[in-house]
Amino acid sequence: MSSKWVLTFDKFMSDLEVKALRKTLEAAVIIAKSKAHQGPVRDSCIIELALGTGLRVSEISALRLEDIDLKRGGNSLVVRHGKGDRLRLVKFSSGLKTTIQDYLDYRDSSSLYLFPSVRKELMSSTAIQKVFKKWAKKAGLPARYSIHSCRHFYASALLKVSKNLRLVQQQLGHKSYQSTIVYSFSQDEEITEAVEKL
């Protein structure tokens, strides 16, 4: 990522936009399962994983089945080659655990990777980006969003709940605290509410 890259408010999906995206995917999954189709079930899991862990697209692509712990109390995954080739453990919710397990139960592939493509062992970053763009368009979201917008949504949502920048830094795999602190500026509603009480 370029050092000139700047995180701006237009890169953040709102709660309502994420809700619309999830609703669109939920409906597609119901139809897909009734027709024994794999695509939308996989796509839904990809997007839920992005929203629920904040993984970079390259990290999602490289995830192997062995990297995910779904055992009782597990609820975590290992990113083996994050940015700067750093290893990290990422915790996730029980709701996402159920989504991943449902996908694995439905999945019809012998690939060692979590998200195989039709012709290859794993989906490329470009293919995953296309999956997001496809469903974002169907949900009526602006074209400016990318799968990386899920990472921004996750980071700002986690910060809002935890109030802990260090925790967000750890989950995102940021080497520098400065990379994480930008998310503290995204808490616009809370700041507006606070200043109105002055």
Active site residues: 56, 83, 148, 151, 174, 183
Phi, psi of 146, rounded to the nearest 5 degrees: -130, 175
> Rounded to whole angstroms, how far apart are CA atoms 52 and 50?
6
Q: What does the block give as tokens for 6?
A: 């700047």
CA distances in angstroms from 115 to 24, 122, 127, 160, 162, listed in the order given: 20, 6, 10, 30, 30
Give which of 53, 48, 50, 52 is closest to 24, Cα–Cα.
48
> Rounded to whole angstroms, how far apart are CA atoms 146 and 105?
28
3-class SS of residue 33: helix
CA torsion through residues 181, 186, 190, 194, sign: positive
> Rounded to whole angstroms, how far apart are CA atoms 82 and 121?
20
